[in-house]
Amino acid sequence: MNADFSERRVKMVDGQVRTTDVTSAPLLEAMLVVPREIFVGAPQRDLAYIDEDIRIADGADGARYLMEPSPLAKLMQLAEISPTDSALDIGCGTGYASAILSRLARSVVALESESTLAETARSLLSPLGCGNVTVVQGPLAQGHAAAAPYDVIFIGGSVAKVPATLLDQLAEGGRLVAVEGQGNSGVARLFFKSGGIVTGRRAFNAAIKPLPGFEREHAFEF
């Protein structure tokens, strides 16, 4: 493994992740191990560890991005993932978040709408030993009901609003983490299912790139 990138991973974790109150030891260890640079194109590898979202593809519905390290880590920590959990990664892109989740959860379904990205994710995850990850293709906002319910649902980009379809796929005691809103108005939220009822709470502000396919049904709200 490239020593230079290994050093960059350490700097990323120490300088971008730990400094934003991420303290989960399993999560930090996973981020130190997973080679973020392989999940971006070769011309972008020198940028793989910067504290910005990185454009990885121009999808049919809009551009796709690799989420910057800090909000990704904070969202995953918010979900309190345990080794017995089943997880759904929505908008897996090239597979980075799924690779992290694979080291935290029992099983991961990586949902991707773009066939090219889905194939890339499969090709990258297999050599990393992520045998507990299954990459599936389909509309992101519909989730993947065939393998539901899930203990954890992670949405890999900001959305206008988390659809009820996804909340319905949570197991009892399940958690969904997502950023609602775009730009500086983005807010990370934790949704929790208890007694068959899902409630949500605001967790922290987060400015990340939008995930296509989650546009509001109505353009205006009064």
Is 164 inside any structural domain?
yes
**Which residue type, as a one-letter code, is found at position 190?**
L
Q: What is the pTM of this model?
A: 0.94
Write down how long the chain is.
Answer: 222
CATH number of the domain that residue 132 is part of: 3.40.50.150
Q: Is 110 within 8 Å of 124 (Cβ atoms)? A: no
Residue-wise pLDDT tens digits, 6-32: 999 999 999 999 999 999 999 999 999
How many beta carbons lie within 10 A of that of residue 151, not counting itself?
23
Is 217 inside any structural domain?
no
Work out whether strand 150-159 and strand 170-180 pair parallel, antiparallel, or are unpaired.
Answer: parallel
Looking at the 3D structure of the chain, how many domains does it have? 1
Domain of residue 199 covers: 3-205
Is 184 inside any structural domain?
yes
Is 123 inside any structural domain?
yes
Residue-wise pLDDT tens digits, 114-129: 999 999 999 999 999 9
CA distances from 63 to 113, 114, 144, 208, 212 (A): 12, 11, 22, 13, 8
Is 211 inside any structural domain?
no
